[in-house]
Structure 1
Amino acid sequence: MSTTFRTGTLALAVGLALGTAPSFAAGFEETSKVKAKDVERIAVVGSRSAPRSVADSPVPIDIVGGDELGKNASSDMLDMLQAAVPSFNVRQQPISDAASFIRPVNLRGLSSDSTLILLNGKRRHRASVIAFQGGGVNDGAQGPDVSVIPSVALKQVEVLRDGAAAQYGSDAIAGVMNFVLKDDADGGSLSVKQGSYYEGDGDSTIVDGNIGLPFTKDGFVNLSFQLKESDATSRSVQRPDAQALIDAGNTNVASPAMTWGNPKIEDDITLFGNVGLDLGDDKEFYMFGNYSSRTGTGGYYYRNPQNRGGVFTDENGDLLVGAMDGNAGACPNIAITAADVRTQQDYIDGVANNDNCWAFNELLPGGYTPQFTGDINDTSLVMGTRGEIKGGFLDQAMYDISGSVGRNKSTYTLVDTVNPSMGALNADQPGLSFEAGSYIQLEKSFNADLVKGIDMGLSEPVNFATGLEWRQESFEIVSGEQASWKQGPLATQGFSVGSHGFAGFSPEAQGINKRQSIAAYIDVEAYITEDFLLGAALRYEDFSSFGNTTNYKLTAQYQLNDELSFRASHSTGFRAPTVGQANVVNTQTSLVNGELIQSATFPPTHPVSAELGGVELQPEESVSYALGMVYQSGDFFMTVDAYNIEVSDRVAQTDKVFITPAHVAALQGKYPSPELLLNGSITFFANDFDTTTKGVDIVANYGMELLEGDTKFSLAYNFNATEVDDPGLFTSGFKVRRLEEGIPEHRATFTVAQNWENVSMFVRANYFGEWFATHADEPDEFSSYGWSETVGSSYTIDASVSYFLNDSWTLSVGANNLFDKEAQELQKDGGAYGVVSGKYYESGPYDYNGGYYYVKAAYKF
């Protein structure tokens, strides 16, 4: 059993504000395994009163234990949570820039930045990655990087499925997720896990460990680490156009020409620490933080040497021929009439044997497929003190004062690509490699919270909480190497500018943008009678960018009898647009009408965006209603919660707007060389559309003795439907359909867990309802190409078996998607199957890679 120091009782009381209570808070002197399991059902999130059980909470909360998270073939926290919480969704993101490495998530069908992430009760900083290709729901989302948190570091995860912006501030529209770190002062674990997909690829190795140490006789230091390597996967087919080149005798084309699958993850290291120390006189010091780093590499789409516009060909489909001396008239473009343009006599005379005239078929005769690498670095540190005030009018009040800093940096490098405008000068780039630059997200905060019970003659003291918060957020763009962004000698001759696939950040884009905010809140909670709980919260925040906002929340719970209670909540909320969304600059390649085009993203107030209707961003606003019941009888526990979330002025990346000659004329004098934008597309962030999300959550558990062991049945079901009430100016019908149908409305899991003395096992069935399958950002009007279709319901099975050799050693084997349920295939006859080189729709609700198995050895001490 873990050592508990003498502030145990205090730690329970002060886990009120934004802090978290240790797992022994509800009765840490109990030593039995049964009591320990009961303790894990105590949550801090959702109330500023004393931590209470899930059944006593006026708002719905899921609590997932750290051990439960570890019973998953995946080592990614996002996949673990999706298996445990049906209203939580996450997808693989192939060929999606940095979003392939930091995947956006959804709680209750809302974007990833509509869920507030806490670590030990403190706000977690955002990732620097913005999901420019977010699959409709997450277009332009910028949420925290949850994947860096290893399960070995966690005691439990608390998921508040209710709007809570009036309690915690911006982003808590869909809910709150609180990751609670282990706080043991002794003991530890070490494990090694090896896994692979049934297809024989995606091999991964994970080594993790945790150790609890005393910090003097009155404190603890709990340290965790995880090392991970993961190979890429390929669910690819050869593109017909690439095969046609091979058939025509082009020996420079790879097979397959591009890889469609998960990226390769290397050097993935994560360190977490959690420290607590009793200062005496009912006061405590705490500190926790992390260091994480990893490198991910993924592929892009294939560039065909016969038709890739802006590199190999012009807008008429003729071969682009550039004059390196600037005299374009001396190097006319060449009509492509052969299956391999290099065999044409006009190419031989005008390009191959002409030192001044240049075409990319000379450097890359088989075309090329850029490779994208992201180096992700994430660090954080939180320090604070909490305790009891003694004497004066605040006698017995609990305080919590803390400061925090969090930083996430992503640096991008492209390999096997070109800056088309540089022409022959690309040969000087070693490995055709370009460092494109970096994004850096930096957040600092200071919190002061106060909680006091006031006797007002009710059955229990009225809990009164108040506090102040100061936050500063910055988003920095660091320019890439010159070759990744410069306009080379062929820029005015029809060749694209910047490293192809992901253009480097120019010095004009470089800079730091900051925003500060201050907040004050009041939170009151009282038992009006022994069975009737009422709560109210009011929060005011003022931002240096767009101004202020005030939000409230009302909660109630009525205990009808010992078994049944009813609960309800109503709240308003908001999500402040991120500093990144308001200031990001980016150029990436997008798939439109089956063709690859360069698409630029500018700040909404940029001259180009302003010409297209962009204005300064304002916060999203939400109104939420929820009604539920809790039933508990013996070993049976069940909750049913219905909710309605209305969100107006949702901030998202606009659909692509194509630049016309009229736009170019209007931008003269406002933006340098606007003619270079002609025929390209522009996106920016806007407060554009309104939605209403309705749903029902059902959670049920039942324990019994079966087969001479302990058996637990668990059912979790979520119905979630989103309707776009007003699409706004920039949201297409295709995106509306993705918002409304892209995530299955029905999702459920049913788990049977069995424990004997030396063996434990579980089987989990995952159900996914009907959903709208799409690939990339292709509109459904191109469905004849096989880009989209409605797919029926499906299910997968997960299973795991563990054998306890002794008190220290455990051997486990398990699988996700045990029976290798195949993902929905793209329509082969439509053409998309080969064009994207992938076999499956990328938007599926479960892993398109198929079944995955693992073996694991764990040692506890």
Structure 2
Amino acid sequence: MKNTDLKVWLAASASSVMLATMLSAGTAYAQDSSDDTVTQDEIITIGTRRTQRSAADTPAPVDVISGIEFTRNAADDVQDLLRTSVPSFNINTQPISDAASIVRPANLRGLSPDQTLVLINGKRRHRGSVISFLGGGISDGAQGADISAIPSIALKQVEVLRDGASSQYGSDAIAGVLNFVLKDSAEGGSFEAKYGTTYDGDGDTYRFSGNIGLPLGDQGFVNVSAEYGDTNGTVRSVNRNDVTELVGLGLVTNDYSRINTYTDSVPQYWGQPDVEDDLKLFYNSALELSDNAEIYSFGSYASRTVTGGFFYRTPYANSFGGARGGVYAGPTINGNPSVLVGDLDGLGVGGACPAGIEMVNQLPDPTVLAQVQADPNCFSFIETIPNGFTPRFGGDNTDYSFAVGLRGDVSIGDGLAYDLSMTHGRNKTEFFINNTINASLGPNTPRDFRPGGQQQTETVLNADFAYLLPTGMASDLSIAFGAEYRKEEFELFQGDPASFALGPLADQGFSSSSNGFGGFANASVASQDSYGVYTELEADVTDRLTVQGAIRYEDYSAFGDTFNYKLAGLFKVTDSFRIRGSHSTGFHAPTAGQANITNVTTQNVGGVLIDQGTLPLSSAAGQLAATFIENRDGTRPALATEDATIFTLGAAFDLGPTSWTVDSYQIDVDDRIALGANIDFLQVLESLNTSATAFTSVNDGLTQLSAANVINRSEFIGLDDLSQFRFFANSFDTRTRGIDVVGRMPFAFLNGNSELTLAANYNETEVTRRAAAGQIQRIDDGRVASLEDLLPNWKGFAQWTHTQGRLRTLVRANYFGQWDDTGNGVNDISSEILVDAEVGYNVTKAVELVVGASNIFDNYPDENPGQGGTGQLYPEAAPTGFSGGQYYGKIRITF
């Protein structure tokens, strides 16, 4: 499909619709008088601003997932629940992914998390504070909303608009829109308790949740939901080859509890992170002020602590080709690697220390080692941390939101409906990294650090209006119009001083900052705002034809303006067959965080740990690099909006007792925002070097350039061990094509009611353009491979539900197609089918007992063939996850 042009794609789509037309035509008349005709009468609030609109009658496809469906699953996180309910939605386990472990990035239709708009009760949800620097290639650099802060028990339904909608809702609505509709009952409630664990006996999960509806006077309600729980981590690791060698030589103990603080089975762990004290609170309320006015409000608070793994740091560094981490490796001695030795009173002061402990026959030179141990002025980390260490990284995340509004109508003609609202939200992450070091502080280094944090704050003001104008058509013309103001702010919090300190051993080659995740040296605040206006028209031109059009103009303080439009239509061929399609444009504006973030992280590159950074173009290092690159190719990077063009074509029809929707789509996104190519920091510094001697390291280069007054050393704090860095830029174009198929069939079975549901998605993305070699915006081949191949092209599920008396059952088979991890040298990873099952029994009308299992056959993805080099038993990006089977039990009480 990658080489198929638009004409062929449209022809194939039209052929599918024509085939469906012929199949439907043979059954339409027989169904006209049948009571078994399947109808889709779910009332929706997205994709159209006409009131009381059903999902079956919209020009764009909208899936409606009831809140009760979310309770029938082993998972608790709303993102994991969506993974088994929406075939084009993907979410992965994030074991060693820095901040992406705390707010996991999700993908709709294979696009980035921030290319999907998230709404709560139709109002824009604020973004999370985390920018996913390690997002598996697909989500690298994305800053999306934190969906996991929503408790599933609070949901009345979830509406998934599978179409572009930037002209209706603004930035981000390229892949689609997720609208989470909160419960609005004024009475009754439910309580649920759940416990689950994996077949391997780890990953224990418990969850308590409740919901209650209360009246607010005679004409209002308050609906409150709460959830609290913990999820223990899992370990799916093997020993790395270098660890096996070190243990065999007696240089490292096989009592791995001395290396990390989490497990004694392996020195480094890949698996599900720990999620502790996971608290979620939501409320939804409204109160009628008169027959024509209602005030409403909803809001939330959530907090959790997430802790995951990092790479193991070996104590003998490059001696066995293992991970370096910029901590221990000393100069080459007699052609052999060595372990770095520090002179505590400073170079040239007092007695001299060896530059390093030479490794002879893979063992440290015993004579030099004894000399270092005997001299209190000489120091090596193999004295204090002889077995190495594995950092434990995580963050405390808090999230809150608040919305208030006034809606109603005024007597102008047939009535002008209005909705005036304000929403405010904030997401904050405070990082911690334990069991690590700031090597430049030598023996005085702390082992635990607080590297700082990030915070995203957004405020949105909306004024929305709708009016029905009689025109003589089959329906009144719905005229909607409105305006929006949005302000966002991204804040970096300074870390504790030791997390970014340039210690006394820094000029001797010891790395500064907390190893693995350096602290933020400076606090900063960046903000931007935007203004938008829109109008939307929709009408039933005839009894069979519905037409919709929308336009939107938006102006950003930092990135200029954009104009977007949408044209869509629905044609009822028969009462049971409908054709629909749309053409729209869309956009995604860079966030204030993407434009201003500073981040340094440690990556495994070719078996060696190196520090890579993301810096603002406006930073001192950024300006040096921009000048360096400009001198080479005459260009400078830029950061502007992404622009999209979206086509959809589909059909909804009934075949006998079954109901089907088939929708194809093409999404072209130009100038996608991405982290560009890594720039060699030492090479940039060397371009400023006027001395005859080359710099031996970044630290050496910064020191010498500062002494020569070429740079201000204080502007580069925390960057002295940085090997590579990069910027956000508009780097490449993509084309995404796919087809969604959803079918449902209710039927009677064994004196009960059953329903079969089939849902499938085919999705393929092609990178159609990227910056030329040598340009700062260029993405590498590994990133291209991830964008095109890391997610399976085919994904879907088949589900059977049955209710009979007090008993209900569910069986679901989830299919994940073949995929490639080309960036890590692994292709043709096998497809998988994971089967879930659940049985519920009503002991009384109010009490239900539930038992179930997820992945009941305990399937795992193909093992990672490079596991000896990484310690990673299964591919990290596996769409199925890699925790294996899980079983669980619940008790649910309704009142």
Q: What SS class does the counterpart of residue 339 from structure 2 fall into?
A: coil
Matches within 5 A, 1:406-445: 406-426=425-445, 429=446, 432-445=447-460
Q: Mapping of 1:536-555 within 5 angstroms?
A: 536-555=549-568
Please list every run of 5 or more consecutive structure 1 residues that lacks an aligned counterpart in the other structure. Answer: 1-33
Amino acid at match of 1:682: F
Match for residue 201 of structure 1? 202
User: Is contact 1:803-1:810 (8 Å) kept?
Assistant: yes
Is the Cα contact below 8 Å between 1:245 and 1:339 reproduced in 2? no
Q: C-alpha distance in 2, partners of 1:230/1:716?
A: 29
Tell me how far 1:853 sits from its aligned partner. 1.0
State whether residues 41 and 55 of structure 2, in contact with CA within 8 Å, keep that contact through their aligned partners in structure 1.
Answer: no
Question: 1:340: Cα distance to partner?
Answer: 7.4
- Of 561, 585, 588, 1:575 maps to 588
Match of 1:763 in 2: 811
Q: Which amino acid aligns with 1:406?
A: G
Counterpart code for 1:416: N
State how far apart, in whole Å, the 1-side matches of 2:684 and 2:571 are. 63
Kindly provide the amino acid, as one letter, of the partner of residue 297 in structure 1: T
How much has 1:762 moved relative to structure 2?
1.1
Return the offset for 1:727.
2.3
Corresponding residue number in structure 2 for 1:249: 250
Q: Conserved in 2, the CA contact under 8 Å of 1:309 and 1:315?
A: no
Q: Is the 8 A contact 2:99 2:132 kept in 1?
A: yes
Q: CA deviation at 1:264?
A: 1.0
Q: How far off its partner does 1:251 sit? A: 5.5
Q: Which residue of 2 aligns with 1:362?
A: 383
| 2:590 aligned with 1:556 | no
Aligned residue in 2 for 1:852: 886
What letter corresponds to residue 751 of structure 2 in structure 1? E
Residue 587 of structure 1 pairs with residue 600 of structure 2: yes
Find 1:326's aligned residue among 346, 356, 372. Answer: 346
- Please tell me whether the aligned partners of residues 119 and 179 of structure 1 are also in contact (alpha carbons under 8 angstroms): yes
Please say if 1:304 is aligned against 2:314.
yes
Alpha-carbon shift at residue 606 of structure 1 (Å):
2.7
The size of the alignment, in residue pairs, is 804
Query: Which of 639, 643, 646 pairs up with 1:621?
Result: 643
Say if 2:873 is the partner of 1:839.
Answer: yes
Report the CA distance between 1:341 and its aligned residue: 5.2
* Deviations, residues 125-171 of structure 1 (Å, cap 9, x unaligned): 00001111011110011101101111100000000010000000000
Question: Which residue does 1:505 correspond to in 2?
Answer: 520
Give the equivalent residue in structure 2 for 1:386: 407
RMSD: 2.0
- The reply to whether residue 707 of structure 1 matches residue 722 of structure 2 is no
Task: Give the Å deviation of 1:632.
Answer: 2.8
Moved more, 599-608 or 91-100: 599-608
Partners of 1:811 and 1:840 lie apart in 2 by 35
Q: Distance in 1 between matches of 2:159 and 2:325?
A: 50
Q: Shift of the alpha carbon at 1:76?
A: 0.9
Preserved CA contact (<8 Å) 1:306 1:340: no
Deviating more after overlay: 165-174 vs 485-494: 485-494
Which residue number corresponds to residue 222 of structure 1? Answer: 223
Paired AA for residue 236 in structure 1: S
| Aligned position for 1:648 | 670
Matches within 5 A, 1:624-703: 624-632=646-654, 635-666=657-688, 669=710, 672=713, 680-703=723-746
Is residue 456 of structure 1 aligned with residue 471 of structure 2? yes
Contact kept, 8 Å, 1:115 with 1:176, in 2: the verdict is yes
* Kept after mapping to 2: 8 A contact 1:762/1:799: yes
Shift of 1:549: 0.6
Matches within 5 A, 1:101-500: 101-250=102-251, 252=253, 254=256, 255-307=265-317, 308-314=324-330, 316=332, 317-327=337-347, 330-338=352-360, 344-349=366-371, 351-391=372-412, 396-426=415-445, 429=446, 432-500=447-515
Q: Are the structure 2 counterparts of residues 40 and 143 from structure 1 closer, same or farther at C-alpha, using a change threshold of 3 Å?
A: farther
SS in 2 for 1:834: helix
- Structure 2 partner of 1:69: 70
Counterpart Cα distance in 2 of 1:490 and 1:51: 69
Q: Deviations over 1:401-434 (max 9, x none)?
A: 00011000000011110011111221xx2xx111
Which residue of the partner structure matches residue 702 of structure 2?
none
Contact 2:358 2:365 in 1 (8 A): no
> Contact 1:604–1:686 (CA<8 Å) still a contact in 2?
no
> What is the CA deviation profile of residues 610-635 of structure 1, one whole-angstrom value per residue up to 9, with x for unaligned ones?
42556341000000000011103564
1:16-73 CA-partner distances (Å, limit 9, x unpaired): xxxxxxxxxxxxxxxxxx99x9897211110011232221111011111111011110
1:701 deviation in Å? 0.4
Aligned 8 A contact 2:39 2:659 in 1: no
* Structure 1 residue 299: Cα displacement: 1.6
Whether contact under 8 Å (2:41, 2:56) holds in the other structure is: no
Deviation for aligned residue 1:368: 0.5
Higher mean displacement: 617-626 or 601-610:
601-610
Partner of 1:28: none
Give the letter for the 1:503 counterpart.
G
Task: Summarize deviations over 1:476-513 as a string: whole Å, max 9, x none.
Answer: 00101100001001112111110001000002xx1110
Q: Which amino acid aligns with 2:326?
A: G
Q: Residues of 1 paired with 2:361 and 2:267: CA distance? A: 17
Alignment-derived partner of residue 9 in structure 1: none
Q: In structure 2, do the counterparts of structure 1 residues 243 and 328 end up closer, same or farther at CA, with 3 Å as the change threshold?
A: farther
Shift of 1:241: 2.1
Q: Which residue is equivalent to 1:527? A: 540
How far the C-alpha of 1:838 sits from its partner, in A, is 2.2
Residue of 859, 867, 889 corresponding to 1:821: 859
Q: Tell me the secondary structure at the aligned position of residue 78 of structure 1.
A: helix
After superposition, the C-alpha distances for 1:246-265 in whole angstroms (9 at most, x for unaligned) are 33234655141122111111
> 2: CA distance between counterparts of 1:641 and 1:454?
31
Question: Aligned partners of 2:98 and 2:362: how far apart in 1?
Answer: 31
Equivalent-residue separation in structure 1 for 2:233 and 2:452 (angstroms): 24
Which structure 2 residue ranges, 5 or more long, are not aligned?
Answer: 1-34, 257-264, 318-323, 630-635, 690-704, 772-776
Task: Specify which of 718, 726, 739 is matched with residue 787 of structure 2.
Answer: 739
Indicate the residue corresponding to 2:260 in structure 1.
Answer: none
Equivalent pair of 2:832/2:861 in contact (CA under 8 Å): no
- The percentage of counterpart residues that share the same residue type is 42
Larger displacement relative to structure 2 (444-453 or 318-327): 318-327
1:720 matched to which residue of 2? 763
Query: Given residue 815 of structure 1, which amino acid in structure 2 is its aligned partner?
Result: A
Partner residue in 1 for 2:836: 798
Match status 1:45 vs 2:46: yes
- Structure 2 letter corresponding to 1:752: W
Q: Which residue type is aligned with residue 470 of structure 1? A: Y
**What letter matches 2:814 in structure 1?**
N
Query: Does structure 1 retain, via aligned residues, the 8 Å contact 2:310–2:516?
Result: yes
| Distance in 1 between residues matched to 2:340 and 2:305, nearest whole Å | 36
Summarize the Cα distance change of 1:195–1:40 in structure 2 as closer, same or farther, 3 Å threshold: farther
Distance in 1 (alpha carbons) for counterparts of 2:688 and 2:641: 30
Q: Secondary structure at the match of 1:217?
A: coil
Q: Using a 3 Å threshold, how does the CA distance of structure 1 residues 230 and 309 change in structure 2: closer, same or farther?
A: closer
How far has the Cα of 1:662 moved from its partner? Answer: 4.5
For 2:431 and 2:538, the matched residues in 1 are separated by 48
User: Residue 328 of structure 1 contacts residue 493 of structure 1 at CA under 8 Å; is this kept in 2?
Assistant: no
